[in-house]
A and B are shown apart, each in its own frame.
Chain A
């Protein structure tokens, strides 16, 4: 299985400040045939299902604010919230869909400082 490891487990950021979440995969999730990284980011607010924020490691889904951005190489990825808003309080998960079993990181809880 591809193991996804997120860091930190939680972070507290002041409103308007930057939040950075890291995700490391135990092997590359770069698919050579299409040169795309099969890595997604999800946001889960309390009592709600996860919501897809970013696919292909860096492509924002329609309607996702541009303060959310994703980046990374074949094994190391980052989700950045450039200016934290109150509504961004949530748990964030990375997930690889390069190979089954699809696997998730353990989650990073983002709170307001």
Chain B
């Protein structure tokens, strides 16, 4: 059974870069059937798709965040990562990594809370 686990700092200062990693276990990360995705959810609000990466390294980002987002992959470690630059308080959220396929996002990590504050 595939499991995802987010990790990274829970507190980031304004204007700095948020960095998170998702570790994939229990399955083949390099399967060509899936996109590995990041979602965020501000406190008390809805879900926003940030972007995804294919195991080959090809990425697709939400245009609303494209100028600040980079998603990368390390297949040797079964990990993919998110970098969000120039953060503000509006970027405070729970960040989820997910596996997305033809059926939607069928596997989710537990989520990690990132607060942007000085």
A93 interface residue per 8 A CB criterion: yes
B64 interface residue per 8 A CB criterion: yes
Q: Which residues of B are at the interface with A, using a C-beta cutoff of 8 A?
A: 37, 46-49, 60, 62-64, 96, 100, 102-106, 108-111
Chain A minimum-CB-distance residue to B63: A101
A55 to B104, Cβ gap below 8 A?
yes
* Chain A interface SS verdict (over half): loop
Question: In the complex, which of the residues A42, A52, A93, A101 has the most CB atoms of chain B within 10 Å of its own CB atom?
Answer: A101
A113 to B109, CA, bound (A): 31
Residues of A within 8 A of B46 (CB): 93, 104-107
B104 to A40, Cβ gap below 8 A?
yes
Chain B minimum-CB-distance residue to A56: B103
Residues of A within 8 A of B47 (CB): 42, 50, 93, 95, 104, 107
User: If A49-B109, A49-B111 touch, does A97 touch B48 (CB 8 Å cutoff)?
Assistant: no
B96 to A97, Cβ gap below 8 A?
no
A101 to B104, Cβ gap below 8 A?
no
B96 to A95, Cβ gap below 8 A?
no
A32 interface residue per 8 A CB criterion: no
User: If A40-B103, A61-B103, A95-B104 touch, does A49 touch B110 (CB 8 Å cutoff)?
Assistant: yes
